[in-house]
Amino acid sequence: MQYTYSSTDKDRFSLHDCYAMSVELANDRLVFRLPDGIFCMDYSDEWPNTGKAEIEFVLESADSATLHTFVEAEGKTFRNEYTVTQMMEKINSGEWELEFAYRYDGYQEVLYRCWIWENPGRAAYEGELWIRTKEDMIFRWDSPV
């Protein structure tokens, strides 16, 4: 997909409160597509404030990303682990929407705290998306509409 702009300057961007509606994995590149955009400091204070956008991660290998969800039931919290393939199937089928909340950067690793919105019931689960990457993430976006 073509976008007008591209940057690896992660300090200029936030995915907080932004929704990934599709995910692709090809050649160890994990790409989240955000049709409602992302937040870029170059624009207004609105959230999100770009046109459609995507973020790309170059993975060490296809199993270098894992999603953990935390589901409350019967007074307990259950942790479920999903592979990239399982996560992609749920998001791309429309069963889930992934809402990014907070990003934590580590050495060759990124952690996103997120919410998983389950359709059609709209139940929300807390999640942690762990991504091991040796390269900078790439932000791509179009101008605000």
Side-chain half-sphere exposure of 137, counting CA atoms within 13 A: 26
How do residues 88-99 score in pLDDT, each as one tens digit?
A: 999 999 999 999
How do residues 21-38 score in pLDDT, each as one tens digit?
A: 999 999 999 999 999 999
Chunked in runs of 10, what are the mean pLDDT values of the chain (145 residues)?
92 94 94 96 86 95 92 92 96 95 93 90 88 92 88
User: How is the chain classified by DSSP, letter by letter?
Assistant: ---SEEE--GGGEE-TT-EE-EEEEETTEEEEEETT--EETTS-SSSS-SSSEEEEEEBSSTTSEEEEEEEEETTEEEEEEEEHHHHHHHHHTTSEEEEEEEEEEETTEEEEEEEEEETTTTEEEEEEEEEEBSS--EEEE----
pLDDT, residue 121, reads: 64
CB of 23 within 8 A of CB of 91?
A: yes
Beta bridge partners of 80: 69
Q: What is the pTM of this model?
A: 0.92
pLDDT, residue 79, reads: 95
Q: How far apart are CA 129 and CA 5, in angstroms?
A: 25
Q: How far apart are CA 14 and CA 57, in angstroms?
A: 15
